Amino acid sequence: MAACDHEPKAKRLTNKPTFDQAFRDKLEELVLMRRDVRHFTSRKVPDEIVERCLNLACRAPSVGHSQPWRIVKVQDPVRRDAIIENFEQANAQALQNYEGTTAEAYSRLKLAGLRDADVHIAFFADMNADTGKGLGSNSMTETKLYSVVSAIQILWLALRAHGIGLGWVSILDPDRIARDLDVAPDWVFVGYLCIGYPVEETDTPELVKAGWQDRLPLTDLILER
C-alpha cells in the first residue's frame, strides 16, 4: 500500500481542531502509559497501522525542515539474525562495564525484544542531505540527529495510541548495523525499533520495576537563573 494512502485527511488539517479537556486527559494518559516494550505477543501488527504511524512520524519537527530521517523496515530473516547477533555481542560487551551486584542485576535485565517483535524498523539520519539547505544545522550538525529522534518519539506515541508497543534498542554496534542493512555511508544510525503488541500494559518502566533506576522528580531537574 502506498504511504500516501495514509496521509492525514485534508479536512482534518483545515478544520479548527478542538483539543478539549477530555482530549488533554487522554493525551496525558497516552504519555503516562507509553512504555519501552521488550515483551511482545505473537499477534501481527497490521501494515496499514505501521504506515499510518510512519506518516505521522514524518510530520515531526526537523531542523530547517530537512526531514533527515531515513527508515529501514528490516524484514529479511537473515538481516534480522545479524541484528540479534550484533545485540548479543554488544550486550555481552556492555556487561563488562559493571561489577559485582550491579553486573548481576544487569545480566538479569531483558534489554531487547528482537526475537518476538513482529516489526523491526531502523532509523538513520542522512547527515549530508541538503534538504533544508543547512538552515539551523550549520553550527550544530547534531540537530539532524535530534530531528530523527523527534520522529521516533511521534512514532512511539502514535503506535501506543493503537495499543502497539515499541522498544528502542541501542545496545548495538552502529557501524555493523549500517553494513548489515547496506545503507548509504553518510547515514548515521539513530535507533533500532522493535514493534509489536505488548504482553502487559503498565505505567511503570521496566528499569524501575527491576530496581535499576528510579524516576527523578522534576524539582531535581530544573534550575532557575
Ligand X SMILES: Cc1cc2nc3c(=O)[nH]c(=O)nc-3n(C[C@H](O)[C@H](O)[C@H](O)COP(=O)(O)O)c2cc1C
Q: Catalog residues that contact ligand X under the rule CB under 6 A.
A: 35-36, 38, 111-112, 168-171, 205, 207
- In degrees rounded to 5, what are phi and psi of residue 219? -60, -25
Q: Which residues pair with residue 192 across a beta bridge?
A: 122, 169
Q: What minimum distance in Å lies between the beta carbon of 168 and ligand X?
A: 4
Closer residue to ligand X, CB minimum distance, 132 or 190: 190
Cell numbers describing residue 62: 526537523
Cell numbers describing residue 175: 557501524
Could you give the CA distance from residue 50 to residue 108 in angstroms, rounded to a whole number?
31
Closer residue to ligand X, CB minimum distance, 84 or 171: 171
User: Taking CB positions, which residue lies at the least distance from ligand X?
Assistant: 205
Closer residue to ligand X, CB minimum distance, 90 or 132: 90
Closer residue to ligand X, CB minimum distance, 132 or 194: 194
Could you give the CA distance from residue 218 to residue 212 in angstroms, rounded to a whole number?
19
Q: Which residues pair with residue 36 across a beta bridge?
A: 166
Q: What minimum distance in Å lies between the beta carbon of 36 and ligand X?
A: 3
Cell numbers describing residue 194: 522493535
Q: What minimum distance in Å lies between the beta carbon of 57 and ligand X?
A: 15
Q: What minimum distance in Å lies between the beta carbon of 224 and ligand X?
A: 26
